[in-house]
Amino acid sequence: MREDRAIERRAFLGVIGATGLMATSAPGLFADEQVGQTVAAKTSESLLAEFYKTLDQQQRTAICFPWDHQDPQRGLLRTFVANNWNIVPQEINSDFYSEDQRDLIRLLFESVIHPDWHARYYQQLEDDAGGFGNEQSLAIFGDPTSSQFEMVMTGRHMTLRVDGDSTPHMAFGGPIFYGHAPEFNEGAKHLDNVFWEQAVLANNLYQMLDGKQRTAALLPSTPREQAVAFRGLKEPIPGLPLSELSTDQHEHVQKVLQKLIEPYRQSDRDEVVRCLQSQGGLNSCRIAFYKDQDIGEDGVWDNWRLEGPSFVWHFRGSPHVHVWVNVSESADVALNA
């Protein structure tokens, strides 16, 4: 990965220790088998609890908040999401944290991302922020040693969460964001964008549609990308109903869903699927492609959205990739997104 393997080994053995390890469904976080198996035994939640215990009072005052902390500009801070922001001013790569704490934060980050995606996420961070920890910060809400807590990690093109199911009806613990800009104004092929393969797979589905289906799926204008609040069962959802797909088309849209959740740890993948099933599965969703902002005017739709009553995955590929995600069991679960 990078030159920090020795640091990670020391950080894990020195700060965390090798006892009381909990099982996880994501095997092998590192290429090094011995360290990889040990780190894989820790969940994101247990790593967060260990990190929380290392914080002194000054650090806790700065980055730790009550569960329902309200921010004057952002409202309920725990549920806020944006494409480029710092939840607190203390960056991960600053002297605010000790070296051991920064190493532990890196392990926590890697535990949230599926091992197959570590290298790609590190590439995104290198391109967008000059590396992990730069222009990134985190905050903790509640007490990670109790039953109600959430960690929110933010930065350019990133909002990630660890909540230990403190918000049991929400996937990821609330809305998340990911993106990448190897170049601010990307070309039609989005070279080197680590997330563009998701759009390629979605556009392959568009190519499978017949004329009537394409008419329903292709809309003239991209909605505001931040507009990912749930429509629920009463408000109509634009686009092509997935319930009208043929068997082979439906199999392909399942592949699209799997590609969307692929970057995340298994427990978060499973939570997305459970939330989707609770609202009727993919058959309750619609897919829309947007004709405007078509880079290169090549008919490969850069902007598209998969949406259900309480499921929104909005992919904006122009001028570079922004993806907004909001998934719940029910639209009645209200979080500001």
Q: Is residue 37's pLDDT more than 70?
A: no
> Pick from 117, 147, 166: which residue ends a domain?
166
Please state, in angstroms and rounded to a whole number, the distance separating the CA atoms of residues 138 and 128: 17
Task: Using the predicted structure, report yes or no on whether residue 32 has a pLDDT greater than 50.
Answer: no
Q: What is the pLDDT of residue 333?
A: 67
Question: Is 269 domain-assigned?
Answer: yes
- Domain count of the chain? 2
Q: Are 114 and 68 contacting, i.e. CB atoms less than 8 angstroms apart?
A: no
Q: In the chain, what percentage of residues exceed pLDDT 70?
A: 86
pLDDT value, residue 332: 82
Question: Domain check: are 159 and 236 in the same one?
Answer: no
Q: How far is CA 117 from CA 85, 130, 184, 254, 324, in A?
A: 22, 18, 22, 20, 18
Which range has the worst mean pLDDT, 25-34, 45-54, 110-119, 244-253? Answer: 25-34
How distant is the alpha carbon of residue 37 from its chain centre? 24
Same domain, 225 and 319: yes
| Structural domain that includes position 18 | 5-166
The whole-chain average pLDDT of the chain stands at: 89
Q: What is the pLDDT of residues 252-294, one digit of tens each?
A: 999 999 999 999 999 999 999 999 999 999 999 999 999 999 9
pLDDT band at residue 314 under the 50/70/90 scheme = very high
Which among 166, 187, 221 is the end of a domain?
Answer: 166
d(CA 113, CA 266): 9
pTM recorded for the entire structure: 0.87
Same domain, 115 and 212: no
CA 226/CA 229 separation, integer angstroms: 9
Closest to 216 in 3D by CA, of 234, 235, 243: 243
The answer on pLDDT for 223 being more than 80 is yes
Contact 183, 176 (CB under 8 A): no
